[in-house]
Amino acid sequence: MPSAIKSKKVTFKHVESEWYNYHQTLKEIVRLREEIMNPFEDEPDTNIGGGVSNVRTPGDPTGQIATRLTTSKQSRYLTEIVEAIEQVYNALPDNYKELVRIKYWNKNKLTWDTISREIHVNRATAMRWRDDIIQATVELLGWR
């Protein structure tokens, strides 16, 4: 089924790189959230010897953390990409999922010929499946 909007080549490459980096992006989201939830953990105490305290007023620390989590552009952006990838992946038939695991989530970078042999389809079919997967992700993200 042809897409209503044909993605640009650069968008296709960008989204495909997000599939390759999916697991790294998950780690980055965890790191960002940890950084947001514990922003002063790595700061050394510079108030040695007394004087004016640089202790932050408690106010509503849970609310402040929630606000920082929801307003972090980078965190929102990465989460949106991860959620789109997961939604597309979960909707895929098993043979497409196998293509994803071999092509994008495998440490070894395999050729299309090797990939197509492993999933028991011809090279053109494997590449068409890849196009379908990436295009579905582009559409879900609303990119062009």
- pLDDT per residue rounded down to tens, the chain (144 residues): 455 567 899 999 999 999 999 999 999 999 988 887 776 655 555 556 555 555 454 566 666 555 665 557 888 999 999 999 999 999 999 999 999 999 999 999 999 999 999 999 999 999 999 999 999 999 999 998
- CA torsion angle 80 81 83 89 (round to 10): 160
CA 116 to chain centre: 26
User: Under DSSP, is residue 105 helix (H, G, I), strand (E, B) or coil?
Assistant: coil
Whether residue 97 contacts residue 58, with contact meaning beta carbons closer than 8 Å, is answered with no
For the chain, the domain total comes to: 1
Give a yes or no: residue 93 inside a domain.
yes
Residue range(s) defining the domain that contains residue 117: 9-40+60-141
pTM: 0.75
Residue 137 lies in a domain: yes
**Residue 73 in domain:** yes
Q: Quote the DSSP letter at residue 144.
A: -
- Domain assignment present for residue 1? The answer is no
CA distances from 115 to 85, 86, 121, 127, 132 (A): 20, 21, 9, 10, 16
Q: What is the CATH number of the domain that holds 104?
A: 1.20.140
